Structure 1
Amino acid sequence: MPQHRVVAPVIAPGEKVMGPPSYFPSIEKNYGRPVQEWLDLVVERLDTGATHMEVVGWLKSEFGMGHGHANALVGYAKAKLAEEK
């Protein structure tokens, strides 16, 4: 099993979640990839030194992602990376 720097949360069916993870089921449905793949892409981009808004812009332009969805992924990833420190 591959190691992920930021692991996607497991959300049970019908579970009420708050904050960025509340967007994750919709992200998977609308953009056809598991949230873990999106988080891996976001972390890879952040590791190159890209800012929050640069990564949001990249997700929007490269994948047609909506601003709220892109912002939720980047915000979640950045919060989890900050916990590493």
Structure 2
Amino acid sequence: MATEPTKGPASYFPSIEKTYGKPIAHWQELVRQRLPARHMELVAMLKTEHGMGHGHANAIVAHVLAAPKG
């Protein structure tokens, strides 16, 4: 049985890891440390402080914010 391709923000994760040389968990933790900042503030932090492109930063933030709290 073929697996379905990854959709949504997670579809960017392999490219993010390859481009920036760190695991997704690293970037997610950076975002979590800044909560409860707003979505675009978190995107801006990844872009300005870590040189991440907008699409990659947005994907990480969206994935973190969509995760169940607990």
Q: TM-score, normalised by structure 1?
A: 0.74
In the alignment, what sits opposite 1:34?
23
In the alignment, what sits opposite 1:58?
45
Which amino acid in 2 is paired with 1:41? L
1:61-76 maps to which residues of 2 (within 5 A)? 61-76=48-63
- Structure 1: give runs of 5+ residues left out of the alignment: 1-13
Q: TM-score, normalised by structure 2?
A: 0.89
Which amino acid in 1 is paired with 2:44? G
Separation (CA, whole Å) in 2 of partners of 1:33 and 1:15: 25
- Identity over the aligned pairs, expressed in percent? 56
Higher helix fraction: Structure 1 or Structure 2? 2
CA RMSD in angstroms, aligned pairs only: 1.6
Separation (CA, whole Å) in 2 of partners of 1:15 and 1:32: 26
Offset at residue 84 of structure 1 (A): 2.2
